[in-house]
Amino acid sequence: MKLARRRSFMGWVAAAGALACAPDPGDPPMFGDGNNIATVEDRGTECAVPELPNHLNLREQPLLPDPFRSMDGTRITAKEDWICRRAEISAQVQEYELGPKPPPPERVSAAVSGNTVTVTVEDAGRSVSFSATLRPPATGTPPYPFMVTLGGGTGLDAGNTISGLGVAMVELDHEAIAEQVNAGSRGRGKFYELYPDHPAGALMAWAWGTSRLIDAIERTPETNLDPRRVAVTGCSRNGKGALVVGAFDERIALTLPQESGAGGSALWRLADVHQQAWIDGGMVPDYGAVQTLGQIVGENVWFRDSFRLFADKATRLPYDHHMVMGLVAPRALLVIDNTDQYWLDRVGSHFGAVAAHDIWQALGIPSNMGASQVGGHPHCSGVPRAQLDEVAAFVGKFLVGGGTAPTDVLYTDGNFPDQRSPWTDWDVPALE
């Protein structure tokens, strides 16, 4: 497909055939063109999520699951219904893939020394500390909007694309929170010192750590950072982490996963099909060897250990990553991809973003989500000027505020075939 570029939420009740809600008046408007971020980590904690079945009792779903169909079989009909539908998807992703995200701990504090902020978390009689490095911008006035980076080397701030807009960069020491050395590093890091034997994989542990960093910044004004204007980014394996961070904390205004592949913007179902096409036909035009669910669960510890039960059963998952990306909605998401990266399933990654875009379209805010896939540069570096301009547009509009550059990008330079008809059987509802 090639398209033209350019739970403190109160008052939820279960209604017959649908989920209804009444927003907490203290939160900002949810589905307008303005600020869609929350004042709390998760607005869906009061939603009634049905009991989730054992993996053996999940039915086969060869097509991409319908993001608008609730677990009771009905389709949502109103924009407000998305919050509880989102809570269902969140619960499924935690149960089958990532592991549960612990609730806010008993105490979070921070100490600032030079450009280092040290976060201390205390819970259930244990205490751990981890750090982040602050890089203030050369322009702007504190408190600064800021972007959390998981690892360096994304290339997105080339030529001060981001920091030149008055945005601080905050590099979180996420690998101290949860290691990602190889399949033998499970359970190592600060997160597991605080929560021994916790089933969450590294991606969810990083999401927890980023949320605790935001907690600390909220309580520590001497950081000179604005906790109401937060973005997150990372590339490759850290791009998977950036997506999970943004998906599971509604205080994050802008999520920018870059070249994230399997476990990020790619789709588990399509990866299996595309890998088989490569095996059957060699280097056919659109597909190379791609990373699949069966491969990735043995490579590293990004997911909960029980996710390996789906190694050859991706079609039993009641969601796919178009819905994981959808957990960011109605907040802003820009998916940055690289057409040259076969291993990341470039076809599946682009179509995953196209399918995810349906969620923002249904909510009436399609320009809050974009996807850009451009090749001709190395993995996680040498980002083309056109993509840097798109990043600047999203940062200016959704993080800094007041930006007017268009954010309606949904583009690949790969000229890929249209994947919608063989992989989806839903239409985009006109939510009230």
Domain for residue 234, yes or no? yes
Distance of CA 25 to the CA centre of its chain: 26
Q: What is the pLDDT of residue 153?
A: 78
Digitized pLDDT (tens) for each residue of the chain, 432 residues in all:
333 322 222 222 222 233 333 334 345 456 655 568 899 999 999 999 999 999 999 999 999 999 999 999 999 999 999 999 999 999 999 999 999 999 999 999 999 999 999 999 999 999 999 999 999 998 999 999 999 999 987 899 999 999 999 999 999 999 999 999 999 999 999 999 999 999 999 999 999 999 999 999 999 999 999 999 999 999 999 999 999 999 999 999 999 999 999 999 999 999 999 998 888 876 555 567 899 999 999 999 999 999 999 999 999 999 999 999 999 999 999 999 999 999 999 999 999 999 999 999 999 999 999 999 999 999 999 999 999 999 999 999 999 999 999 999 999 999 998 888 899 999 999 999
Q: What is the pLDDT of residue 134?
A: 97
Domain for residue 39, yes or no? no
User: CA-CA distances (angstroms) from residue 191 to 110, 120, 210?
Assistant: 17, 12, 11
Instruction: For residues 387 and 398, give the distance between their C-alpha atoms in angstroms, rounded to a whole number.
Output: 16
Q: What is the pLDDT of residue 26?
A: 42
Structure tokens at 70: 């609730």
Domain for residue 253, yes or no? yes
Residues 6+ apart with CB under 8 A from 422: none
Q: Which of 127, 131, 377, 379 does the annotation list as catalytic?
A: 379
Strand-pairing partners, residue 373, are 337, 412
Pairing of strands 225-235, 168-172: unpaired
Domain for residue 135, yes or no? yes
Q: What is the pLDDT of residue 420?
A: 86
Determine the structural domain holding residue 395 and report its residue range. 107-423
Neighbours of 402 (CB within 10 A): 6
Please name which of 235, 314, 324 lies closest in space to residue 275, comparing C-alpha atoms: 314
Domain for residue 201, yes or no? yes
379 carries an active-site annotation: yes
Q: What is the pLDDT of residue 154?
A: 87
Strand-pairing partners, residue 230, are 146
Domain for residue 88, yes or no? no
Please name which of 293, 298, 288, 294 lies closest in space to residue 338, comparing C-alpha atoms: 288
Q: Which of 163, 211, 236, 260 does the annotation list as catalytic?
A: 236
Domain for residue 312, yes or no? yes
Please name which of 8, 10, 11, 12 lies closest in space to residue 39, comparing C-alpha atoms: 8
Q: What is the pLDDT of residue 289?
A: 87
* Domain count for the chain: 1
Domain for residue 57, yes or no? no
236 carries an active-site annotation: yes
User: CA-CA distances (angstroms) from residue 322 to 196, 276, 377?
Assistant: 32, 21, 25
> What's the CATH number where 111 sits?
3.40.50.1820
